[in-house]
A and B are shown apart, each in its own frame.
Chain A
Amino acid sequence: MSDINNNDTGPQFPANEKLDAAATSRRALLKHSSLALVGAGLYGAAPFMGPWKHNHAWAQTGQKKPLTVGLTMDASGLYAASGAEERLGAMMAIKEFNDKGGVLGRRIEAIHIDTETTPATGSRVAERMITRNEASFLIGAVHSGVSNAISQVAQKYGTVFLNTNSSSPTEAGKDCHRTKFVWDGNGTNFSNAIVKNAIKASGKNWVLLTNDYVWGHTTSKATRAIVEANGGKIVEELLVPQNTRDFSSYLLKLQQLKPNVVATAVGGDDIKALRQQVVQLKMNQSMAWINNQQDWPDVYGLGPEAIFGVFGTTWYWRLGLPGVKEFVAAYQKQFPGMAIRVPGNVYHNGYMATRELLRCVEEAGTTNNIAVIKKLEGRKMSAADRLQHYDAWMDPVTHQCQQTIYMATYNDQPAEKDDIFKILTQADPKDVMDKDATGACKLESYDATPSYEV
């Protein structure tokens, strides 16, 4: 079996970081099993493909072999910075479990492959991690397209996948899956939290600046619906192709349109460039700006003047809640000398998602995916445990974590160097739920989901 593994000359992935090698090749086993089945099928002794429930079973838990977790975070492309942060969060949770002896007495090993902020790469990486690296669980996504691609592969094999930071409403809506769990607030949650107040405070004429891919479109669609429902008007929606670096023509157009509010659903490196160019033109002072969700790695280091407007987030490192200081200190101790000196929402989501998954495995007493899925569905998480203001829960209908949504702006009176957000208010998850997701999400049945145990 090891020969087959060693001689494998399949496609190689750049920027792989294999943190630990798996002990046995599931791929080789599958290969041998399928050959045996094909042979038997030819003689009419067995069907060509039986249900996964039987074929995909492992009975090696007695050997205490390590539990492999696949980290599907971006290390390059538009969301490289966020990908790095959520990876640290997941690694921290894994480390904490390993320090306690692992999970179910098994050490947790993590492998990471760069998903390159590219859906096709996401699919390939997921396929490889499941079939070759024997990953029991997949964790990590920022880009909605990548997350959707990974989740389709994960559902095919029944592998539990945690979408840690991708916030398109479709992720827990029409693209939901039984095996996928979404841990970030989505565009509708943030719009529900922000838009109503912004119409009152700033005016009714809005322009939408939308990243031209699924997250941008679905987020702006949610914003548009809420603006119009509250008597506001969308004057124009400007679509921003991904990887746009020059926003001068958009900013000129905005000056001509003269809206009261500009609502952006622009992420990654695009929002960094946009913020800089808005400041150069001093347009941050001439109209109100709302960024649906502002990820910490996208603003860290930009400088105070570039952090303008009101934006949503799910966590901030200076929330005055018990345990937050210790959480920050643990990050700084574990990852000294990082360019991002304090953790943000992306790290928090990565950490909380991974920790909760491993807790579920422990509570289920098995790595059986269906048992773990059932533990995750409807799971209640206390505010104190998640270092937020309100209790959170994993919606059993949509598989989205319903959590506190914070509205923030630039902090003009920072208490220390990295104190760049001023939290304006926090919304109870019950008040900002995405009600459309419930109707749009059709989870596969348990029976239609391949079952496995590794």
Chain B
Amino acid sequence: MDFLLQLIPHLVNGVSLGLLFALIALGFMLIVGVMETINLAHGSLFALGMYFALFLIAPQLGVFPNLQAWYMSLPLGTRYLVALILAPILVGIFGMLLELCMRRTYGRDPLYGLLLTFGAALVIEEVIRLVWGSSEKQLMLPEVISGAFLMGDLVYSKYRFFASGFAILMIVLLWVFLQKTPYGAIIKAGAHESEMVRALGINLSRLRLFVFGLGVALAAIAGVVMAPIWGIRPHVGVDAVVPAFLIIVLGGVGSLWGAVIAGLMVGMVVGLTGSYASEWSLMSMYLLFIAVVTFRSRGLFGKKSVLDQ
């Protein structure tokens, strides 16, 4: 009984961790699923979201001192909200520019796309280093979501609960968008029958541009949400891109719920091993991955290929 009581907080923590992993993987999943492009810059764009949020919460322009003073006089909660909305939009626009560069790689060996996004990742990281420096940064949080609260005799982070709730919100919004709106239907159709979509008069290039921008904006949202947990440093993106890639393959490429469930599984496994066999905590996600892919090569919710039928 004692063991079960002790286990409960770790299960709750595992779910919370899993939701955050799923949030990190959402944008990656969208781009891979719809565009069949592995965006290796996902991690760097995730980091860029953190830095844009940092700027939007406490801008240091060096010009327009009055405007800056007025902005800084706004409550921290307002500035945090501005960062949470604007940072992903700005990174999304940046992502769209990246997509324009990627167009020459479409229809060619996938290696071209990989190389381009890998190069972009390096450039983004170095630009971050040049603009913000390489030292650690911290994102200020409004009082209402910072600090801790007691549950029994255990202390929990308020922010972690906020972040988990926000991850649920984002997952639901993305699901509603993809399933319940005509835009979502076009995106899904574009993923499966791009030629048919084009034949129906839909501008496929614009669709890809939008999807890439949305995927990148989701990466930036994950970055803003994870910033207070992981800290902000130029190479933080590497910590995001590896689990994101693992989760979408584990869940099945292109499956929203696959990514969510895989994220939860990874979070649970990492959380529990962290508590009971800590030296296995990072490796556990890879062991889970090997175990699943060995028996189900297309991932949990991946569609059957022609060869499987």
Flag the segment in B55-63, B172-180, B182-190, B226-234 that touches A.
B226-234
B147 at the interface (CB under 8 A from A): yes
- Could you tell me if A248 and B231 are in contact, using CB atoms closer than 8 angstroms? no
**How far apart are the CA atoms of A302 and B138 in the complex, in Å?**
7
CB contacts under 8 Å to A, within B1-33, are 6, 9-10, 13-14, 16-17
- Could you tell me if B270 and A249 are in contact, using CB atoms closer than 8 angstroms? yes
Flag the segment in A130-138, A163-171, A281-289 that touches B.
A281-289
Chain B residues, CB < 8 A from A425: none
A238 at the interface (CB under 8 A from B): yes
B109 at the interface (CB under 8 A from A): no
Which of B6, B157, B272, B278 counts the most A-chain CB atoms under 10 A from its CB? B278
- Could you tell me if B135 and A243 are in contact, using CB atoms closer than 8 angstroms? no
- Could you tell me if B136 and A301 are in contact, using CB atoms closer than 8 angstroms? yes
- For A256, give the chain B residue with the smallest CB separation: B6
B271-306 vs A, CB cutoff 8 Å, 1 = contact: the mask equals 111110011011100000000000000000000000
CB distance from A295 to the nearest CB of B (A): 12
B159-172 vs A, CB cutoff 8 Å, 1 = contact: the mask equals 11000000000000
A81 at the interface (CB under 8 A from B): yes
A252 at the interface (CB under 8 A from B): yes
Interface size class of A (residues with CB under 8 A): 35 or more
CB contacts under 8 Å to A, within B109-160, are 133-138, 146-148, 153-157, 159-160
**How far apart are the CA atoms of A340 and B156 in the complex, in Å?**
33
Chain B residues, CB < 8 A from A81: 134-136, 233
A277 at the interface (CB under 8 A from B): yes
The residue from B239, B275, B283 contacting A249, defined by CB atoms under 8 A apart: B275
- Check A269/B271 contact, CB under 8 A, given A286-B155, A301-B135: no
CB distance from A243 to the nearest CB of B (A): 7
The residue from A77, A250, A273, A303 contacting B230, defined by CB atoms under 8 A apart: A273
Chain B residues, CB < 8 A from A303: 138
A45 at the interface (CB under 8 A from B): no
Chain B residues, CB < 8 A from A238: 278
The residue from A76, A80, A282, A339 contacting B155, defined by CB atoms under 8 A apart: A282
CB distance from A281 to the nearest CB of B (A): 5
- Check A277/B279 contact, CB under 8 A, given A246-B270, A248-B271, A256-B6: no
- Could you tell me if A276 and B138 are in contact, using CB atoms closer than 8 angstroms? yes
- Could you tell me if A297 and B154 are in contact, using CB atoms closer than 8 angstroms? no
- For A276, give the chain B residue with the smallest CB separation: B231
The residue from B10, B133, B279 contacting A241, defined by CB atoms under 8 A apart: B279
- Could you tell me if A249 and B271 are in contact, using CB atoms closer than 8 angstroms? yes
Chain A residues, CB < 8 A from B155: 255, 281-283, 286
- Check A297/B135 contact, CB under 8 A, given A245-B230, A246-B229, A249-B274: yes
**How far apart are the CA atoms of A239 and B280 in the complex, in Å?**
9
- Could you tell me if B136 and A302 are in contact, using CB atoms closer than 8 angstroms? yes
Residue ranges of B at the interface with A (Cβ–Cβ < 8 Å): 6, 9-10, 13-14, 16-17, 133-138, 146-148, 153-157, 159-160, 228-231, 233, 235, 239, 270-275, 278-279, 281-283
Q: 6 tightest CB-CB pairs across the interface, nearest first?
A: A249-B274, A339-B133, A239-B279, A241-B282, A339-B135, A249-B275
Residue ranges of A at the interface with B (Cβ–Cβ < 8 Å): 76-77, 80-81, 84, 212, 238-241, 243-250, 252-253, 255-256, 269, 272-273, 276-277, 280-283, 286, 297-298, 300-303, 306, 339-340
Can you list 22 A-B pairs, Cβ within 8 angstroms, ordered by A?
A76-B235, A77-B235, A81-B135, A241-B278, A241-B283, A244-B281, A244-B282, A246-B17, A248-B13, A250-B278, A252-B275, A253-B10, A253-B274, A255-B153, A255-B155, A273-B230, A277-B157, A281-B148, A301-B135, A302-B136, A302-B138, A339-B134
Given contacts A241-B278, A276-B231, 11 further A-B contacts (CB under 8 A): A77-B235, A241-B282, A245-B239, A249-B270, A249-B274, A253-B278, A255-B153, A255-B154, A272-B136, A280-B146, A282-B155
